[in-house]
Amino acid sequence: MLHSSKFIDEAKVYVKGGDGGNGCSAFRREKFIPRGGPSGGDGGRGGDVIFEASRHYNTLFHLRMNPEHTADRGRHGEGSNRTGRNGESLVVRVPVGTVVYHWDNGEQIHDFTHDGERFVVARGGRGGRGNQHFATPTHQAPTEKEDGQPGQMFTLRLEMKLLADVGLVGFPNAGKSTLISRLSAAKPEIAAYPFTTKEPVLGVVTMDEYGNETFIMADIPGLIEGASEGHGLGTTFLRHVERTRVLLHLIDLSEFNEHRPVEAYEIIQNELASYSGELVEKPQIVVATKADSAQDGTRWEELEAFCRERELPLYKISAITGEGLTELKAAAWAAVVEAREKMEAAEGEEDVEQRLGL
């Protein structure tokens, strides 16, 4: 489960590769060898700064608190042609789903999508050459040597996007937190006021009838009209919807909801489309919630007719009584399996094209 008062999904960090060690200027001084040649060793290479994706991290809080990361420098060369030791690389762990951007120009550097994935964000500098490399037949006692090159240094912006199979979207108090608490082991805060959920919550849903297969469900904090323009919680959490495979669009059927069901659906759809046209292209299941407290039957009839006309799958549930939860869970799982298969097929075609050089 992802639920922490320290949930941070953006961070600014400074990274610097280790500087290369300096080359050495030295000459052989050995007994019985009166005219020893140059013997200055090379400097060692500086260490790299490497980001590694880890599923054990679900926030960028540790990087917000510790933003500077510098790898070990290479050691200087020594006499007797001894090369300096290479600097140790520094491995910095980030959550799976982290996207790295250059701070200055906003260019995307890397997108971490799976556990254990590594990427060098700042390379260490090359070590300088010792004077042994500068000897020639006419210049047999060179004193020249090279200084090590500095390591790369960058200021980066990290942005974390949750990786989940199913994302729950809808107005505040549409029942997202209650639903994820019923279908998974997640324990979100639940109360009868807007924006109860102020950070995403991840829950693992287990399909016992399918050999304990699982999928990840994310409760995305409630959206309101104008969210794509910064209203309410604004775009703070809209980015987390981008990585989900399937969307469950929750709509409150009860009379306490100021919007009619169809109106509520269209408002949230417009916000998703305004943020990214790709969001409304994702597989979507409409979920009518709070069926136990809905007294006005026309609200359900309007939504049912609307979804039938647009061929949208629709399920009526009550997370309190359990009505419709089994059917919804099975439908969500089927949509996840189909989405996974399509993604695997697309990745397979991409691999073939790369091998063929297309």
Q: What is the pLDDT of residues 61-81, one digit of tens each?
A: 899 899 999 999 999 999 989
pLDDT at 236 over 90: no
Is the residue at 358 inside a domain? Answer: no
Q: What's the DSSP call for residue 298?
A: H
Q: What is the mean pLDDT of residues 312-338?
A: 93
Last residue of a domain, one of 134, 160, 186: 160
The last residue of a domain, from among 160, 186, 217: 160
Query: Is there a domain that residue 140 lies in?
Result: yes
Q: Could you give the number of structural domains in the chain?
A: 2
Task: Please say if the pLDDT value at position 9 is more than 90.
Answer: no
Residue 328 has pLDDT above 80, yes or no: yes
Average per-residue pLDDT for the chain: 84
Answer yes or no: is 3 within a domain.
no
pTM flag (> 0.85): no
Q: Is residue 20 a part of any domain in this protein?
A: yes
Range with the poorest average pLDDT among 25-34, 191-200, 283-292, 346-355? 191-200
358 pLDDT exceeds 90?
no
In a shared domain, residues 318 and 274: yes
| Mean pLDDT value of segment 269-279 | 84
Residues 150-174: what's their mean pLDDT? 88
Q: What's the angle, vertex CA 86, arms to CA 80 and CA 92, rounded to 5?
A: 170
Q: Are strands 98-102 and 108-111 parallel, antiparallel or unpaired?
A: antiparallel
Confidence of residue 272 (pLDDT cuts 50, 70, 90): confident
Alpha-carbon 341 to chain mean position: 22
Do 264 and 196 share a domain, yes or no?
A: yes
Mark whether 31 and 111 lie in a shared domain: yes
pLDDT of residue 218: 83
Q: Residue 196 has what pLDDT?
A: 44
Predicted confidence (pLDDT) at residue 123 exceeds the cutoff of 80? yes
Domain that holds residue 155: 10-160
Could you tell me if 211 and 201 are in contact, meaning their C-beta atoms sit under 8 angstroms apart? no
Question: Which tens digits make up the pLDDT trace of 179-190?
Answer: 988 888 666 454
Give Cα 283 to chain centroid, integer Å. 21
Last residue of a domain, one of 160, 179, 209: 160
Say whether pLDDT at 319 is over 60: yes
112 in any annotated domain? yes
In a domain, 4, yes or no: no
